[in-house]
Structure 1
Amino acid sequence: MEDPRWDTSRFDVDYWRKFEGLLAHARSLGILVSVIFYTDGARPGSYPFARDLALPSQEELLYYQYAAARLAAYSNVMWDLTNEWHLFRTMDWVEAVGAYLRSCDPYGHPLSVHGCNEFPFRRSAWADFAAYQSWDEDGGYAFMLHNRHKQVETGRRMPQINEEYGYEDHYPRGWGEDRVAPARNAESRRRIAWEIAMAGGYQTTGESAANGLGGWLNGLGDDSMTMLQGYRHMAAFFESIPWWTLEPMPELAGGNMCLAHPGQRYVVYLPEGGRLQLSLPAGHFRANWYNPRTGEATQSKPGAGPGVLTIRAPDRKDWVLHVWRDRLG
């Protein structure tokens, strides 16, 4: 509809109550919800406020203030100022709305803005994490490691998140590089998720509901959707260790993807198995191979330092080597 005749002086209370119900249910399941304010300028009639302003109007700011007043009390809320800001909004608009929403939220929920493969708000006081959209392998290890380093250079650390790197079985035509199946199957998404984690980053993902029914979020998915099974194994692995103490240190593993707390713990991801050399300091260390496809761990030979631990993966599939200091050694 070109002109749905929006009334920006009033809010649809029933809709907001429905959204509050969604947040409450998600909270009961331990799920965080990214509240994305939709400002897609490419679809006529989809947004009630003026799109051609360099700064937000008072009515638009009221929209964000109302959202904070109703939703900020939910502990599982994260704010995302808009989708694709670089296509429909100016940097000044983002800065103004980001600062305003921050001032409206007494609980300080995490706040960012969804955009592209650059995040020009690294130093902005309102931004709590850097959000990117970089699809497929281009948004994997090298991309996220580069952005992590750029953030560190500012002297202001914040999480780096690739919010959109392609969905399970999603093959749009005319954009998205016109990829075809099985380029974005569950296996490829799982591998990229591991790459992002090994760069010290985070990711969000989803499925395309290509079966015509829907997906996990509406309960209408089917057995063809398997991506989150692999993600469950990744989450279980990192939740079993103090992951927040680890830093990307590929130089300790011959350039391989490596997270480390030097002298205490090492995690190395090998996308195609193979032989690995890991530099260890003095001490005794235990090790196992974690299968990211099944979630199973197999004990490996222990190592001792100082020196180089040389070890080979069980086969040419992807594997995770986990090495940690043996407190009894």
Structure 2
Amino acid sequence: MAYMSEFTQARLIFDYEAGRAALSEALPDFASHPENYGGAIDLPIGALATVFRVKEAAQEKLWLKLSTIEVPDRVELPPIEPNPGYEGPEVAIASARIILPASGRVNETVEMVLEGPSHGNPFTDVELQAYFSLNGEEIRVGGFYDGNGRYVVRFLPDTAGAWQFRTESTARSLDGHTGTFSVEPSHARGAVRVADTYHFSYANGEVFRPVGTTLYAWTHQGPELQKKTLATLSTSPFTKVRMCVFPKAFIFNDNEPDLYPFEGESGNWDTTRFDPAFFQHFENRIRDLGKLGIEADVILFHPYDRWGFQDLGAAADDRYLRYVVRRLAALPNVWWSLANEYDFMTTKMPEDWERYAKIVTEEDHARHLISIHNGTRIYDYSASWATHCSLQKVDYYKTAELVEDLREKWGKPVILDEIGYEGDLEYEWGSISAEEVVRRVWETTLRGGYHTHGETYYHPEDQLWWAKGGELVGKSADRIAFLDKLVAESPTGRLEPLPLTNPTPSGGVAGEYEIHYNGFSQYRYVTLGIPEGRKAVIDVIDTWAMTIETLPGNCSGRARVELPVRPYMAVRVRVQQESL
């Protein structure tokens, strides 16, 4: 038998008399009237304890009581091993037709296609992998079945040269292929990597600044809405999109998608058979983002589900992960997010997330960025597999103000992937004013972090940008673009936090390019110090009006800068190269 814990779903706890008693003591209002709290009853009790601010001592007492309540063990189906006898000895080794381009290009996808067998269940019976080598180094790349006897291996080469390959497979016709193909130099930027500890760059060294937006279920909408979303993105400042593989069931998101990841139907999915059309569609949308210069932050699991995708079982989860990573890893503009709000998923334990991370990193030969996103409990980003921190606010008031501490704590880039959404819903997370979104974005950026936008204005047809895409109607996106242009004009294309003399932040390149942000404060003037023996150009910036007023002449020494008495102003200092 198993026992309850902080990860147990609140709904399940109500089924036991001892559980109801424990909840009544720790969370009396919720225990008396759970119907007043919407879908909270479907969350893990640990998440609820955090949301309802249960004191730590009371939480420990609750966990102790729950640990004495037995619940039935979860029944897990065993993994399905590939079939070594899938093809008999009458089938010649390496007899499948292979299609491979004569040459590829650095940092661009190379696709190998093999036309092979389709009997039985190729998704589980057949294991296919290729080994690519150059100068003695060999890289394993897993293949996948794409339906209709079509097997695919996708490779993202990072070096020019004459690459060799060989295949291994449980299907004789796919096994033992060898050959050579040429990879030519290119100007493609490639996958994004961590750079200079807290920042990002493309594989070719070019600076990348993640200016994110949220489009959880945009690929699960109709073709016209997807087309409209891409058109909006093409004129937006956004360089990263958070998007789910699985469809999403949540408020304003009740429609059924046209495609599902598995054969079957809701509640009766055949998790041993993927629907290639679903994944072909999904990866085509990622390619569309790539053409716009936008990274796809692919969310692999999430809790907002009425189809059963968050509770497939360990074997099915692992099979799904290997399949999706093998399909997408060779696309340059992919990031991995193990989950959105991982701690709201009652079917996953801490050890599951570590196992998932191991599978993703094993199968991803291109070494894309990978993280996990929290609901109420921040993940321990000291995990070696986590390349960066993907966070949402966990305090109603403080969000961006914590960025510097978080950078120092984990020594990794910090992205506030949910700072609150500009909108007018009845929910705290979806009713932030544009002014407050812009303030949080400025605070985050000048403290050395990055951010992700979202928009949740009510729409009579439930077309909210944050879920379905369409068109932007808010006021923050243009002002985010304005800020990003100022960051791009820095000598490094980035901002580092500068030592604080005020509660409001300053960022830039010390002594060269500095931006001082006033936030809520409405100073009549500020006094700035220019490096000794240097002159500087001073700009007064209205971050809301998006205006820049350059003061006449050059300043030196201690410079007093007069300001309009209103909030959200900033001052930029551009130190000149020549000396006095």
Q: 1:171 aligns with which of 411, 419, 425?
A: 425
Distance 2:366 2:442 in 1: 32
User: Which residue in 1 is equivalent to 2:488?
Assistant: 239
2: distance between equivalents of 1:320 and 1:188?
Answer: 15
Q: What is the distance in 1 between the residues matched to 2:309 and 2:381?
A: 30
Tell me what 1:9 maps to: 272
Which amino acid is 2:562 matched to? R
Q: Which runs of 5+ in 2 are unaligned?
A: 1-248, 250-264
Shift of 1:145: 2.4
Please tell me whether the aligned partners of residues 82 and 114 of structure 1 are also in contact (alpha carbons under 8 angstroms): yes
Distance 2:316 2:481 in 1: 42
Q: CA RMSD in A?
A: 2.7
Q: TM-score, normalised by structure 1?
A: 0.83
CA spacing shift, 1:268–1:288, aligned 2, 3 Å: same
**How many percent identity over aligned positions?**
23
Offset at residue 37 of structure 1 (A): 1.4
CA distance 1:97–1:46, shift in 2 (3 Å)? closer
Residue number in structure 2 paired with 1:230: 479
Separation in 2 of the partners of 1:245 and 1:227?
A: 21
1:170–1:207 contact (8 Å) kept in structure 2: no
- 1:262 counterpart residue number: 510
Unaligned runs of 5+ in 1: 51-56, 152-156
Deviations 1:128-184 (Å, cap 9, x if unpaired)? 110111068634332222212322xxxxx31101111221115344xx47x8xxx51
Aligned to 1:108, the other structure's residue is in SS state coil
Q: How does 1:30-45 map to 2 (within 5 A)?
A: 30-40=293-303, 43=306, 45=308
Aligned residue identity for 2:412: M
Cα pair 2:337 2:370 within 8 Å, conserved: yes
**Quick check: 1:39–1:82 contact (8 Å CA) kept in 2?**
yes
Contact 1:273 1:315 in 2 (8 A): yes
Distance, in Å, in 1 between the alignment partners of 2:408 and 2:424 is 31
* SS at 1:9 equivalent: strand
Asked whether the 8 Å contact 1:233–1:293 carries over to 2, the reply is no
- Within 5 Å, give how 1:131-142 maps onto structure 2: 131-134=390-393, 138-142=397-401
1:96 matches 2:350: no
Report deviation, 1:291.
2.6
Distance 1:139 1:44, change over 3 A: farther
What secondary structure is seen at the aligned counterpart in 1 of 2:397? helix
CA distance in 1 between partners of 2:349 and 2:469 (Å) = 37
**1:121 CA drift (Å):** 2.9
Q: How does 1:10-89 map to 2 (within 5 A)?
A: 10-40=273-303, 43=306, 45-50=308-313, 57-88=314-345, 89=348
Residue 145 (structure 1) aligns with: 404
Do the aligned partners of residues 310 and 235 (structure 1) sit closer, same or farther apart at CA in structure 2, a change above 3 Å counting? same
CA distance in 1, matches of 2:561, 2:422: 33
User: 1:116-135 residue pairs with structure 2 within 5 A?
Assistant: 116=375, 119-134=378-393
Amino acid at match of 1:296: T
11-20 vs 139-148, greater mean Cα deviation: 139-148
Alignment partner of 1:188 out of 419, 422, 436:
436
Once the two structures are superposed, the pairs formed by residues 307-326 of structure 1 within 5 Å of their partners are: 308-326=558-576
Contact (CA 8 Å) 1:136, 1:192: kept in 2 or not? Answer: no
2:531 is matched with which residue?
281
Other-structure match for 1:303: 555
Quote the Cα distance in structure 2 between the aligned partners of 1:316 and 1:227: 19
Residue type of the alignment partner of 1:70: R
Alignment-mate amino acid for residue 541 of structure 2 = Y
CA drift of 1:289 comes to 1.6
Higher strand share: 2
Q: 2:425, 2:457 within 8 Å by CA — same for their partners in 1?
A: no
Find the partner of 2:414 among 124, 135, 160: 160
Taking the aligned partners of 2:526 and 2:349, their CA distance within structure 1 comes to 47
> What SS does the corresponding residue of 1:259 show, helix, strand or coil?
strand
CA deviation after TM superposition for structure 1 residue 313, in Å:
2.2
Distance 1:139 1:104, change over 3 A: farther
